[in-house]
Amino acid sequence: MRNKLFLVAMLCLALLVTAGCGGGSTFKRVSGLSSEQVVHNFFDAAKGNRMNEAASYVSPASTGNTRTVLKFVTGQSSSSIQNYNLLSVKKVAVQGNYAAVVATMQQQNSISLTIKPVGLEKIDNEWYIVDYDQVFRDAKYQVLAQLFRTIQ
């Protein structure tokens, strides 16, 4: 009887240890965010090197381009995003399921500012970032491309 109780206790312990392992890397995309908040969350996740989380804020059509999106936003590779601070994100245009925002970043230890337009698409009532180059390649994003033309 003691052996059975011991085995059950060890099995429970093994299950608890296994359940606890790897749980720290899970994340849940925050829902109900404004277009500006999506850009903030994307930037914060990328700056924290949580690329899977950052990808959750990118449009499914652009998911394979998460690093391209990041490179456009910062002008640099993902490894140097730690050198930037996101100062502000301002919505400048909305039409239907598309929004254009302008992100203002400052390179650390510098007075250099970078201002970038960021396009977003609303899918199932949630905003997602669209790869900048894809806006001009994909006919689906004609409205978003037109919004960009009005702010540049």
In a domain, 23, yes or no: no
Alpha-carbon gap, residue 94 to 121, rounded angstroms: 10
How many independent structural domains does the chain possess?
Answer: 1
Looking at residue 65, what DSSP letter applies? G
- With residues binned 3-state (H G I as helix, E B as strand, rest as coil), the percentages for the chain, rounded to 5, are 55, 25, 20
- Would you say the pTM of this structure is higher than 0.85? no
Contact 123, 60 (CB under 8 A): yes
Q: What is the mean pLDDT of each run of 10 residues along the chain (152 residues)?
A: 38 36 63 96 89 88 67 55 88 94 90 90 95 85 87 71
Please report, for the domain that includes residue 108, its CATH number: 3.10.450
Looking at residue 58, what DSSP letter applies? B
Residue 124 main-chain phi, psi, to 5 deg:
50, 45
Q: Please tell me the predicted confidence (pLDDT) of residue 37.
A: 97
Locate 51 and state its tokens: 């690329």
As a residue count, the chain comes to: 152
The range of the structural domain enclosing residue 76 comes to 33-151
